[in-house]
Amino acid sequence: MSLILELAQALQSSAPGVALAESAYAFPLIEAIHLIGLSVSVGLIFLIDLRLVGVILKKVPIPDLLHQLRGLVIGGFVVIFISGFLLFWSEAATVIVSPAFPVKFLFIAIAGVNALYFELRLARQPPVLENHAVLPANIRYAGLASLFSWGAVIIAGRLIPYLP
């Protein structure tokens, strides 16, 4: 047995891990909170991405949209992180062997790098700041990459319990 699997088994077998897994209410409640956080954060990111691609909200300035939604997106991610850790704690040895588990985290990393690149470089370009209805290709591609990456995170996350 690998060290990672042993650590995951120890985490899952701990008193809090067993309590979470065996609770009739805790696990479903935490999972619901996880999905609500996901809906808020990724749903709002999809709105931003669709604006970047030029599908919706063409007259809304991107800096205004980002300013209005950033706190909610970050708050949703805090909820996702905490609830996701609790879910992992209760079934670590089970999910760690799923091939979808590392794929999910690979796409989270890709989406994170894309978001950082957008925030630190692309969001400061004149077409974004000047509210062009149609944005340059590199900005539209960043929106498409985000849509694809977060979609892949969701798909991989949903596949975890179904792939042994």
Let me know if residue 76 belongs to a domain. Answer: yes
Helix (H/G/I), strand (E/B), else coil: 119: helix
Let me know if residue 48 belongs to a domain. Answer: yes
Let me know if residue 164 belongs to a domain. Answer: no
| Dist. CA 69–CA 91, nearest whole Å | 33
| Dist. CA 64–CA 48, nearest whole Å | 11
CB burial of 5-19 (b: ≥16 within 10 Å; e: otherwise) equals eeebbebbeeeebee
Let me know if residue 45 belongs to a domain. Answer: yes
Let me know if residue 102 belongs to a domain. Answer: yes
| Dist. CA 155–CA 101, nearest whole Å | 11
Query: What is the model's pLDDT at position 144?
Result: 97
Structural domain count of the chain: 1
Tokens of 64: 């205004």
| Dist. CA 62–CA 48, nearest whole Å | 8
Q: Which position has the token pair 């809906």?
A: 39
User: What residues make up the domain containing 62?
Assistant: 3-159
Let me know if residue 62 belongs to a domain. Answer: yes
Query: What is the model's pLDDT at position 131?
Result: 82
Query: What is the model's pLDDT at position 107?
Result: 98
| Dist. CA 33–CA 15, nearest whole Å | 22
Q: pLDDT in tens for each of the 164 residues of the chain? A: 588 889 999 999 999 999 999 999 999 999 999 999 999 999 999 999 999 999 998 889 999 999 999 999 999 999 999 999 999 999 999 999 999 999 999 999 999 999 999 999 999 999 888 888 788 999 999 999 999 999 999 999 999 989 87
Q: What letter represents residue 34's amino acid?
A: H
Let me know if residue 64 belongs to a domain. Answer: yes
Query: What is the model's pLDDT at position 1?
Result: 58
